[in-house]
Structures are given as structure tokens and as C-alpha cells.
Amino acid sequence: MKPKDQAISAEVQWLSLFKTCRRWQQKFTSTRRLCREAEAAKLFPGISALPSLAKTSPSTSPSETMRMGQVWKVWGTLFVALLGCVRCLPVEGSPLCTAKGRAKYSLIFTGKWSRTAFPKQYPLYRPPAQWSPLLVVTHSSDYHMWRMGEYASNGMREFVEKSEAWTLMREVEASGEKIQSVYGVFSALAVPSGVEQTSTEFEVHARHSLMSFLARIVPSPDWFVGTDSFDLCEGDTWKEQVSVDLYPYDAGTDSGFTFSSPNFATIPQETITEITSSSPSHPANSFFYPRLKQLPAIARVSLTRLKDSQLIGISTVQSNLFPMGNEIDDSVSETPLDCEVSSWSSWGLCMGKCTGMGIKHRTRYIRLNPANSGNPCPVLKEEEQCVLHNCV
């Protein structure tokens, strides 16, 4: 093959590889930077065939040596870029989304935190039961705003303890800039009671088909509800409508047991765990209901795909941020709450006439009144005969 033909052949091969890289780029954003480097490395129109490099003689001029170095830089960059595509392949359990276009969804958050469903230590004032604003993020599989079994970030700590979102927002934005995994950030207004609603709209597309969100339980030490990487795509189609029941989580940053516990930092910090009717297994815990196998859902999120998908862009958007108290789900669980009493006091003095037996008493008091057909309170006072002493 003539040198000119070799150069043309190498150029064709380079273009073929570059087109392959571009196709991968459209599916996996993590190769975008490498593809740009490969494109920038093409500094000249013609590329000599690789076999000619092996036959370079000692008399090769400096300009030709530089040219050969550029050729190897191009091929090396492309090789790294194509290998980089392998790490972008979906892991087991994370199928590739091939749905076309973008999908716009409405999100309706419904609080189900009622005194009937959660009668124990239900907060009625300072402050009453309510929900913080919602923070919603649409992203790819290489990003997690939070994850059960892992440690909460500093931004999440501030959000679940104080309802402050600034640090968490900066963390989300930094992840989006670094690995291009975040597509959009959205929010919904706070819910002023435990059983009202709020809503927002958000957008996803094939490369960023996952949705995560957080809402703090107010008041609480560091408790919240939310979803982690909920996938709205099934193969080549978008889900039309789905509802998810939500249960409380402990962020592992505060050691309080009750809704109104004072701030008491957990040192060392623990991982995020789900709160259940028996865990933490402490009678003082506000969610401790030993008679229940599972807590009732404390909230629900409903996602509905909007048919009129007017694109709302990639930038941070807030929309439809309004309470919807006239559309509340009436199905409320009744959680039986048993009466809780204190331990018995010590026996009192033996009192009576010296001509017979005396009587002594002991008492206990109600810690928690029963509710929703829970076990009634036992007797609060006992008496017992005793022998009088020091009788004259």
C-alpha cells in the first residue's frame, strides 16, 4: 500500500472510532470529556498509517517524529475513551433506559401523619406536626442524594435536623458539575400540618431517569421520608402513574428518641436506617409500637406522567408549589396505643390502730393514655396489710 493510501486508511479508521465514541457519548455522559479530548487531539487533517511507525528509521526528521507522537496521542486517547465506556454500562439491577424524548411528571406529596395513625407523643404545638419543604433531584445511576446503610452528608445533616437546604443544594450542584449526573433540582412548599398535601413538577430523560427526594419530619431529631433513585423508566417506556408509601428514616446524626428531643449529636455518626415499630427498641421512642408488625405509612408520594409535556429545561425549576388540602386521602390507619404507666412507688408507712393489723399503700401514675382501642390502664393504687410497730 502506498504511503498516501495508508494515511487515508488510518484516517478512515480514526473517524470510525470517533463516531463509535460519539455513539457511546449519547448513551453515557461519563465519556463526554474523553471524547472531547480525542477530538481536540486531532490537530492535522491527515494521519499516517500505524504500520509506518514501526518502520521509522533513525534518519526520521524532528517534524515527522512530532507528527508520529500526535498520531499515538490520538489513538491512545481514543483507546482510553472506549475503555471508559465500559464503566458506564448499567450494573446488574439497573437496566438501560431507552425511552425516547423527555418525560414530565407531577409529584403530589400527601402527609398521613395523623394523631389516629401515630397517637404516641403526637406533637400538637411548639411546633405541631408538619413537613419541611421537599427537595427533588432527577439524576443518573452514578449519583445518590441519600442511601440507606450509608452515612448522611453534611448537607443532608443540616436538612434533616434544621430544614436548611443551602449546603445540600451546593453538594447536588457540585456533583452535577463534576460527573454530570444531576439533570434537575426541584422543590415543593412545606406542608403546615401532618395530613395535608403539596406538589411540584419535574422532568426526566433517558440518561437521567431516576428521581430522589427528601422531606423532613417536623419536629424530630433527624427523621425524614423520601425515595432513593426511583426509576421512572421501564426499558423503552416511561411509567404513566405510580404511588409509593413512605416510612420514616433516621439519618444517624442525632440520638434523640422523641419528636421533641433536644439536640444531641450522635458521635460517632451512624448510617441511615429505617425506623420501624420495634427499632429503635426503646419504649421512649415516638415510633415504638410493639403490638404492630409494621408501622402504617406516614406519607405517600404519587407520580403521574403529564401528557402535555411542555419541556421545562435543565436549569433549576420550581413549579406548582401549592398546598392541596381538598384532595387528601381519607384512608387513615388507626394504630392502637396501649396505656403506659410508671413503676410502683415504694410502700408507704404502715398506718392503723394498735389493736389490729395496719395498712400500707403504694402508687404509680399514667405515662401515656390509651388510644384507638389500645389496652386500658391498670390500677394505679395498691394497699397491703402490715404489722404495726412501736405501738404503746
Spatial neighbors of 367 by CB under 8 A, at least 6 apart, are 340, 341, 342
Work out the percent of the chain whose per-residue pLDDT is above 70: 69
Residue among 192, 193, 94 at smallest CA distance from 140: 94
CA proximity to 270, closest of 148, 113, 108: 148
Find all residues with CB under 8 Å of 108, minimum gap 6, and list them: 197, 198, 199, 301, 302, 304, 324, 327
pLDDT of residue 214: 96
Least Cα distance to 182 among 144, 236, 214, 156 occurs for 144
Query: What pLDDT is attached to residue 387?
Result: 86
Q: Taking every pair of C-alpha atoms in the chain, what is the biggest distance, in angstroms?
A: 133
pLDDT at 208: 94
Whole-structure pTM value: 0.65
Give the confidence band of 371 by pLDDT, cuts at 50, 70, 90. confident
- Per-residue pLDDT at 139: 94
pLDDT at position 357 is 86
Q: Please report the pLDDT score of residue 334 as a whole number.
A: 75
Q: Interior CA angle at 327 toward 325 and 330, to 5°? A: 100
**Contact present, 180 and 29 (Cβ < 8 Å):** yes
Question: Residue 93's beta-bridge partner residues?
Answer: none
Q: Are residues 298 and 225 in contact, defined by beta-carbon separation less than 8 angstroms? A: yes
pLDDT in tens, 297-339: 999 999 999 986 444 443 333 333 333 333 444 455 677 777 8
Neighbouring C-alpha atoms within 13 Å toward the C-beta of 308: 0
Q: What pLDDT score does 35 carry?
A: 41
